[in-house]
Structures are given as structure tokens and as C-alpha cells.
Amino acid sequence: MTNLTQANRELFRRRDDERFPDLDALARFCREQKQQSVDRWHPPQKLRAVSRDDNLALAIGDDGEFALNAWSFGQLCGLAHVARDTVNRLRPETATRVFADTLPYGQKPLQLLTSSSHVRSIHGVSYTRLHNIDVVNLAREVATDFMPPQAGMNGATGLYAGEEDMFCFLIDPTGWAEIGDQAFAPGFFLWNSEVGKRSVGISTFWFQAVCQNHIVWDAIDVVELTRKHTANVGNVLTDIRRTIDSLVARRDERRDGFVRVIGKAMKERLGSDADEVLKELSKNGIPRNLAKEALEIARQQGAFTIFSLVDALTRLGGRVQNAGDRLDIDAKAAQLLMLAA
């Protein structure tokens, strides 16, 4: 089992105006955000930093002047290859001269996302935008039985959106499965950034408890899917739909079968000693080095049960950075769990 802290980090970093009581309120904000934003395409030589009212602004061709927020200012500095901290120490008049000398020229246009008053983001042609409202609407459509957990200690619900990104933490309060004196329920995290601050993705899991700090305790069967905002990023909506559908289907199956399988996996040993367990893990396609690490974690738990080894593989998978390798480990762990089915 593992403890998930993503929602905990969101709980304490979000301002009051980035918190929403339910998915409908979050959807309204994201819809208005999309409606009030405009994509503008210009070659880099059409951008000009200007000083207005003792602040730095960006003139975009003939479209007018726009203020910069923290994210777009950082992107502008990156485009000019100048250190953000250095520019921050300059007077606006001096900063405009720095950008005049360092902003690039070229034929490939830049895409600038603007609201009525400021620039939200600056990207090259390879960036493909996915709007937050499309992700939120998908959750509203597919995860009809899921809702935010109990409010956190500061009143936040687990639903957030702001200038830079959005994040949803949802659970199904009807999906609990009792296993002896333990209980598990399904939930997921869902996130996106239409300005490129983070990837788009989903993480599904089964958990035992959520505290007021929104730490998810004793999670198992954690599956994560992420995509970068490149060409065809819109296809990820289909993948997210399938991931939620799979979680819902497994919830329905587990209402009857989850107790039986996990209960059996907690009791049934994979072997009488370490050598036998290694052989069984190898038979199930688990590489020897990974099997040894899982074996050591299971040994610390005091038993070589199927559940302890599946849990160990899940923990090890969470440490792997490559998404494809993580999915492969998760698949092998799931296959191992089926030995108790």
C-alpha cells in the first residue's frame, strides 16, 4: 500500500478563488475561462516588450498591448533566453531594452493565448492546447457516481482551477468493499493545464481513508496515465474515458469479488521460502532484479503473500519515471493478483 499526496499539495497551494464546491461550479469557471481567451498567432518579431504605468507589458503586432502574468512572463524570458530573476531586478524601461535585443526572429509563428487584459501563455507551433472545460466535462459525463471527498481542514473540496491549471480529486462513496476490518473504495485524480504548466492526466486508485489534509491513505492498484500537449493530445480524452470506465467496471465487479480476491491474496503465500517466490515471480514475467526488490519489501511486511508482493510491485512502479515502464509493472502486478482470483 502507498499514501498519495497529490491532493494534499493542491489543498495548501490554492487560493480561495481557485477552489470550487462541485463539478458544476468548476465547469462554469472553465467554460468562462475558455470563452474569454483568444489564441493569437504572430511571428516572434511582432512581439515587443513595452513599459506601461511602471509595469512591463507585451505589444502583439496590431492586436494591442497586454499585461503579463507570472507564467507568461517566465515563458517570455525563456523565449529570449534571459534569466527571469535578472529581468525581475530591472526597471521596466531597462527590461524592454533587454527584450528588444534578445527576442528571436523567425518565420514560424508563436501562439499566444490572451484574455481581455493579459497574456496567459506563449508557445511554439508544436504545442497543442487542450482546454480545461473539455477535461472537466468528460469527468461530469463519465464519473456520475463520483464526488469530492469531505472538505479539507481549510474548507477546500479537492476541485481547483486557476490561471495556470486545474485539478480534480473525486471518490465514489458508494463503492466501498469491506475486507475483514479493512475497507477500500475507488477514486481518482484528474488534471490539465491549457497554458502548458503541467501535462494532462489521470491517476486512479483504491484507498482506505482520506484525512482532512487530503492525504489518501493505504492506496492500492494505482494506475496513472499522462500525455504532453503535443499533436493529437485530444486523443487522451478517449484514453481518460476508458480509464474511468475501467475503474467503474472494476468497482462494480469488486462489490462482490473484491473481498474474495483480496482476502484470498492476503492469506495465500506465493511460496514457502524466498527461492520459491523468486521462481514464481519469474514464471509470471517479472524481471529478476525487480522480483528481488519486491521480495525484500514483502519480507519486511512479514509474509510472502500474493497481496504483499503485489503491493511491493506497486510501490516499486511508483518510483519509475518512465510512464511506459510504470504501466508495464502495474500490468504485471495486476496479473499476479489474478492468481488469487
Q: What's the confidence (pLDDT) of residue 325?
A: 72
Domain count within the chain: 3
> Whose CA is closest to 226, among 246, 245, 202?
202
Same structural domain for residues 145 and 172?
yes
* Domain presence at residue 169: yes
- Cell of residue 211, nine digits: 484525512
End-to-end Cα distance, the chain: 19
SS3 221: strand
Q: What's the confidence (pLDDT) of residue 39?
A: 94
Rounded CA-CA distance 122/196 in Å is 9
For residue 327, the enclosing domain spans 268-340
Q: What's the confidence (pLDDT) of residue 178?
A: 58
Q: Examine the fold and report which residue of 90, 114, 138 is the final residue of a domain before the chain moves on.
A: 114
pLDDT, tens digit (0-9, with 9 covering 90-100), for 98-128:
999 999 988 889 999 999 889 999 999 999 9
Alpha helices in the chain (DSSP H): 6-13, 23-35, 70-80, 84-88, 92-102, 132-142, 236-267, 274-283, 288-301, 306-318, 323-337
Predicted TM-score (pTM) above 0.75: no
* Domain presence at residue 74: yes
* Domain presence at residue 163: yes
pLDDT, tens digit (0-9, with 9 covering 90-100), for 205-237:
999 888 889 999 888 889 899 999 998 888 999
Same structural domain for residues 142 and 204?
yes
* Domain presence at residue 160: yes
Percentage of the chain beyond pLDDT 70 is 94
Same structural domain for residues 178 and 296?
no
Long-range contacts, 106-110 (Cβ 8 Å, 24+): 106/43, 106/44, 106/45, 107/43, 108/43, 109/41, 109/42, 109/43, 110/41, 110/42, 110/43, 110/44, 110/47, 110/79
